[in-house]
Structure 1
């Protein structure tokens, strides 16, 4: 996997992991060092520091005079303060090192944040307690320092584990590709070669149960392939000669030989990985809000700490150590740790859910806007419809022939035609005869000899020209449904007619119903004639239709809807719809399949399924709801906790110590992490 030359300042949490002195390394020294490995190292580092601090905290608590007084015991002995100071120094410098180095870095960058708060709180507690050991009048706060560092390390350890699991989508995708492939040599034998050595045009054998090593086309064999991990399609897809296969999917039953069409960066999987990486690095508007809130919370904390200290020392006459205790408690309780974590965890979780369901978010801001959509414009062909002509009706005008025979004669003659309609007729026919003669009737159809009979497949214009009788009402009704009708003439007699239509996807109806349930207007955009467009719109319950629109006019139609003051999403295939996708507030490239439209749309849907658009809107709504919940969990408790920590209710015997403040802060972090993990595609 290639090295991600990213900037750690764009990491998914409020603090900078490089701030942890232990990790102050340059990525250039670690070629190929992935995000995932980096997080793994940090998780291990916090875990290691936490267990050491926990082990040292036990004797520190036992030796602390305040704890002994609370437990009503006396374990004092000569020199115990010096042992306490020595143990606490290890906790401060070793356990507190990530926070101290972070403080220095934030001050250098003039961006005070969470590290500044923690660093100040533990430094004040340590320096004050050490001064007491050397004769300064006051109480030892080493036990508070130790518990604070331990709880902070535990919070970071939990955070890094959460972030690591959330950011592992890329590694999961990279792991889809097998390490080796069975290269088919010229003499028909196979040789196992590393996947990275495969070239375009190579033939590769894939046995049952094996992963497909790269994108390609089947040249031999039949099988079913599981593409669920890549496209979200749960059912295995049948593959035979000529079909495309995607690298990373799993061959289930038979053996396949494929010709490699794409390798490396051009492959579907690489493009998906690029999109996932873009999504993880894409800035979220809500994230910016959280970062601003964290910055101001830091300013509030330092200000509140100074006011608290000054108020207790200069206005109430309380002891210096009491004022210091209150100051440390205020600094701890306002740590924006959970706030810095609130949004990134939800972002990572939603990106992961989206990728699993076959849609890839390229622009977080556009994805967040999707929750407020007023209208969705759908391209018709290939989005709401299948995009291919399919035989929908066979009209029989002659009792001599069955429907199957009429279709078989037409399909046999159409074998030599390149017309799109010919493909639809051929696909419907189970079998064909070989035509004896074949010729075209300019602008009207084709003719020839099949199975000893003269056959013509012609347009309605030819039939009218020849003044042949047929049930016009039946044909007119089918034509009004936007279908194309061709006539079959056998032995100069009109045998029947075949109607072909661009079939409406079953999922389109469900998608439109779901959109309407969410109060979103559905608009159809097509280059087709109005009659066809109106029929499809009526079938689906579309609110507004733009028909006979040229490709270069599509963006203007999007602008027209936006001019009505609506927030608009454009859904298209990402090829001729590119200008319209760019114009829309949210551009959704649908049906990208094995050619992911990396540069089109803010969101790329892997499958040709309009229902994914509704799933996308639902996920956007759920994601935003979770973000708001997390912001409240992360910062809401500060409203009540800061005054308590400062000692506002001291007269009534209510006071928060720094250790309790640290527990509350860490608890909010855990709640935020757990809440993010509960994000689902849609929530009631």
Structure 2
């Protein structure tokens, strides 16, 4: 087993003593999926029924200049439309009842009212009432509203997805060690405090605990965001869900269930998601006012024609229906979803996915963006940054080649970084580990050692300390190369800053947005990276369960905050932020918790999404004006305000005008583009 001892980079303690209640995230997730499927299923059925309804409608036939009428065609039309009204309109009718119960009329009330009036009016015409059949208007309105809600719901994020991803980090089984030393396979949920479990190389650690036997390096990147696996030996704590990379270890369980680190992260994610405020939907606000206008205009129209002009009931009812149909446009139901769909498509082609529309809309008003360092602003993997030659006649590339040749037998992440940098290697003749200090062996006929600073200090070897200290101050890890017992050189490895990071920070500054960095690294490393990038504020040495608190701290300054991160430890902070931006190549849970996912791991996309958010909101407002303003302007005509001059808008013409407003809104949405 090979281990480089880098004690300068210690991990924090991840204890958290808060208790949290159980939550039912899974059931909410299933409910959300069923609702999306329900709207989709109803939409396709209604689309199928709309075709014969359109073909049988006298108004459509007159428009096309055909005559497909036959005996009992009205009754077939009424029967098909009844299915559309009750089956397709059911979500809106139940929504109408719910909104009225809560005394908050909105989109559902408006749709429910319009389809009910169109259906009851048309059915009355079938039974002899004088007027036009508006069944085609009913079916197209129901179909378009179902499509709009289906598109809209697909963009809504389910909070439980993140919790499911977290739960999947834990293995299902564990090797429990019995008193006689034998092991048995048991389900993880049967483990209790004090049990000892054997964790083999490559396996996940089933619960929080303390190592009681064996040595290994454990990859905690998914949980702590720390890219370098951490060496573990007797007495060291391990976290459930982290991966044992090499060497078998026996762990005594110290925490299970709700007390575990992973459960606490899950609770933090859910709490932050539940407490996050949402902006009220623009379309619902417009629908609320249109509902008030529709009911008021309808009542005024009916009353005015009956009581003040002496017109008959049939004429007054026709005017009222025309007003109600005009007031509930197809366009309003699609004004927002069409723009959302368009912006989602544009975003995807530009490297980011929108998961939560409300949060995406908020991005246009951001005051601050908090970046996680490791894997977001930096690459998250160790690469060779410097090679020092201590006066030996060998070249830097030769020193690297000797080190890389020896590292071929090591699985350590530093070894991977050295191997990736080397152009070619020799096969080592001998290989041994120097416990806790490095590795040694024979390469190309020479004895070679790759060791830690601890080994050099113990053996009192002299080297240019100033040069090495300079590299260490930049947050880099330094290993030393000894050839034939002579200290030949040193290799520095660092978590390199992403090339687009500096451009991203500058672009955000140009938009007047403050840039903050959040990291578990020491202050010296954090300050170096922040200085290189021009970061405004740094939070260093932050424990995983403190990240969400740091986001709150910035929010309490009255700022609208975005958080960008990739690890499980970032998930609570992503959920707490007003806008959570997940790096796509990071852990699944960060992706599931994020409101927006950066697919290409490019920090510059943060600026792009803010610009798209501004453009999207602008287009939404334009569409709402087209959808609502068009209607409000047409209401007086539908009510018969110009009747004295021979200008009157029938329910049929009103329905056609509404279809035109839908076309205008659709075309306007197509003009959305990145600014």
- Tell me the TM-score range normalised by the shorter chain: 0.5 to 0.7
Instruction: After TM superposition, give the deviation of residue 457 of structure 1 in Å.
Output: 3.0
Instruction: After TM superposition, give the deviation of residue 466 of structure 1 in Å.
Output: 6.5
Q: 1:644-683 residue pairs with structure 2 within 5 A?
A: 644-652=637-645, 654-680=647-673, 682=674
Q: 1:90 to 1:410 in 2, by over 3 A?
A: closer
Residue pair 1:522, 1:543 contacting (<8 A) in 2 also: yes
Instruction: After TM superposition, give the deviation of residue 157 of structure 1 in Å.
Output: 5.8
Residue pair 1:301, 1:330 contacting (<8 A) in 2 also: yes
Residue pair 2:478, 2:490 contacting (<8 A) in 1 also: yes
Q: 1:475 to 1:325 in 2, by over 3 A?
A: same
What is the match of residue 369 of structure 1? 362
Identify the match of residue 41 of structure 1 among 26, 34, 45: 45
Identify the match of residue 628 of structure 2 among 623, 627, 635: 635
Q: 1:57 to 1:523 in 2, by over 3 A?
A: same
Structure 2 Cα separation of the partners of residues 166 and 293 of structure 1: 16
Q: 1:394-413 residue pairs with structure 2 within 5 A?
A: 394-398=387-391, 400-413=393-406
What is the match of residue 588 of structure 1? 581
Q: 1:302-313 residue pairs with structure 2 within 5 A?
A: 302-313=295-306
Q: 1:494-513 residue pairs with structure 2 within 5 A?
A: 494-513=487-506
What is the match of residue 117 of structure 1? 114
Structure 2 Cα separation of the partners of residues 669 and 37 of structure 1: 23
Report the secondary structure of 1:565's partner residue.
coil
1:337 equivalent in alignment to 2:345:
no
Instruction: After TM superposition, give the deviation of residue 464 of structure 1 in Å.
Output: 6.7
Residue pair 1:40, 1:164 contacting (<8 A) in 2 also: no
Report the secondary structure of 2:564's partner residue.
strand
What do the CA deviations read for 1:146-175 (whole angstroms, capped 9, x no partner)?
A: 4x44455456666667878899999xxxxx
Q: 1:300 to 1:673 in 2, by over 3 A?
A: same
- Flag the structure with more relative contact order, 1 or 2, with Cα contacts below 8 A and sequence separation at least 6: 2
Residue pair 1:158, 1:670 contacting (<8 A) in 2 also: no
Identify the match of residue 572 of structure 2 among 575, 579, 595: 579
C-alpha RMSD over aligned residues = 4.2
What do the CA deviations read for 1:653-681 (whole angstroms, capped 9, x no partner)?
A: 5443333322221112222334344444x
Residue pair 1:36, 1:164 contacting (<8 A) in 2 also: yes
Question: So what's the TM-score if we normalise by structure 1?
Answer: 0.64
1:540 equivalent in alignment to 2:537:
no
What do the CA deviations read for 1:291-350 (whole angstroms, capped 9, x no partner)?
A: 354355344323322321221332234565554443332222112432233233334444
Q: 1:530-569 residue pairs with structure 2 within 5 A?
A: 530-569=523-562
Identify the match of residue 449 of structure 2 among 456, 468, 481: 456
Q: 1:69-148 residue pairs with structure 2 within 5 A?
A: 94=80, 98-99=84-85, 102=89, 105=93, 112-121=109-118, 123-124=120-121, 127=124, 141=131, 145-146=132-133, 148=134
Residue pair 1:510, 1:611 contacting (<8 A) in 2 also: yes
Structure 2 Cα separation of the partners of residues 466 and 547 of structure 1: 33
Q: 1:333 to 1:479 in 2, by over 3 A?
A: same
Number of residue pairs the alignment of both structures matches: 516
1:52 equivalent in alignment to 2:45:
no
Residue pair 1:593, 1:607 contacting (<8 A) in 2 also: no
Report the secondary structure of 1:433's partner residue.
coil
Of residues 425-434 and 477-486 in structure 1, the stretch that sits farther from structure 2 once superposed is 477-486
Report the secondary structure of 2:569's partner residue.
coil
Q: 1:122 to 1:479 in 2, by over 3 A?
A: closer
Of residues 148-157 and 378-387 in structure 1, the stretch that sits farther from structure 2 once superposed is 148-157
Q: Where in structure 2 are there 5+ consecutive unaligned residues?
A: 1-28, 101-107, 157-275
1:491 equivalent in alignment to 2:495:
no
Report the secondary structure of 2:568's partner residue.
coil
Structure 2 Cα separation of the partners of residues 573 and 39 of structure 1: 37
Structure 2 Cα separation of the partners of residues 162 and 312 of structure 1: 35
Instruction: After TM superposition, give the deviation of residue 525 of structure 1 in Å.
Output: 1.3
Structure 2 Cα separation of the partners of residues 472 and 6 of structure 1: 62
Residue pair 1:155, 1:669 contacting (<8 A) in 2 also: no
Report the secondary structure of 1:581's partner residue.
helix
Residue pair 1:332, 1:662 contacting (<8 A) in 2 also: yes
Instruction: After TM superposition, give the deviation of residue 500 of structure 1 in Å.
Output: 1.5
Instruction: After TM superposition, give the deviation of residue 427 of structure 1 in Å.
Output: 1.8
Report the secondary structure of 2:525's partner residue.
helix
Q: 1:286 to 1:556 in 2, by over 3 A?
A: closer
Q: 1:566 to 1:473 in 2, by over 3 A?
A: same
Q: 1:96 to 1:383 in 2, by over 3 A?
A: same
Q: 1:192-207 residue pairs with structure 2 within 5 A?
A: none
Residue pair 2:563, 2:581 contacting (<8 A) in 1 also: yes
Q: 1:56 to 1:664 in 2, by over 3 A?
A: closer
Instruction: After TM superposition, give the deviation of residue 39 of structure 1 in Å.
Output: 3.0
Instruction: After TM superposition, give the deviation of residue 381 of structure 1 in Å.
Output: 1.2
Instruction: After TM superposition, give the deviation of residue 46 of structure 1 in Å.
Output: 0.9
What is the match of residue 522 of structure 1? 515
Residue pair 1:391, 1:500 contacting (<8 A) in 2 also: yes
What do the CA deviations read for 1:482-523 (whole angstroms, capped 9, x no partner)?
A: 333333333344433322111111232332233223322111
Residue pair 2:53, 2:135 contacting (<8 A) in 1 also: no
Residue pair 1:386, 1:505 contacting (<8 A) in 2 also: yes
What is the match of residue 219 of structure 1? none
Q: 1:425 to 1:60 in 2, by over 3 A?
A: closer
What do the CA deviations read for 1:616-639 (whole angstroms, capped 9, x no partner)?
A: 434433433333222222211222
Instruction: After TM superposition, give the deviation of residue 407 of structure 1 in Å.
Output: 0.7
Question: So what's the TM-score if we normalise by structure 2?
Answer: 0.65
Structure 1 Cα separation of the partners of residues 453 and 474 of structure 2: 16
What is the match of residue 203 of structure 2? none
Residue pair 1:412, 1:432 contacting (<8 A) in 2 also: yes
Structure 1 Cα separation of the partners of residues 123 and 40 of structure 2: 35
Q: 1:661 to 1:448 in 2, by over 3 A?
A: same
Instruction: After TM superposition, give the deviation of residue 87 of structure 1 in Å.
Output: 6.3
Identify the match of residue 481 of structure 1 among 464, 470, 474: 474
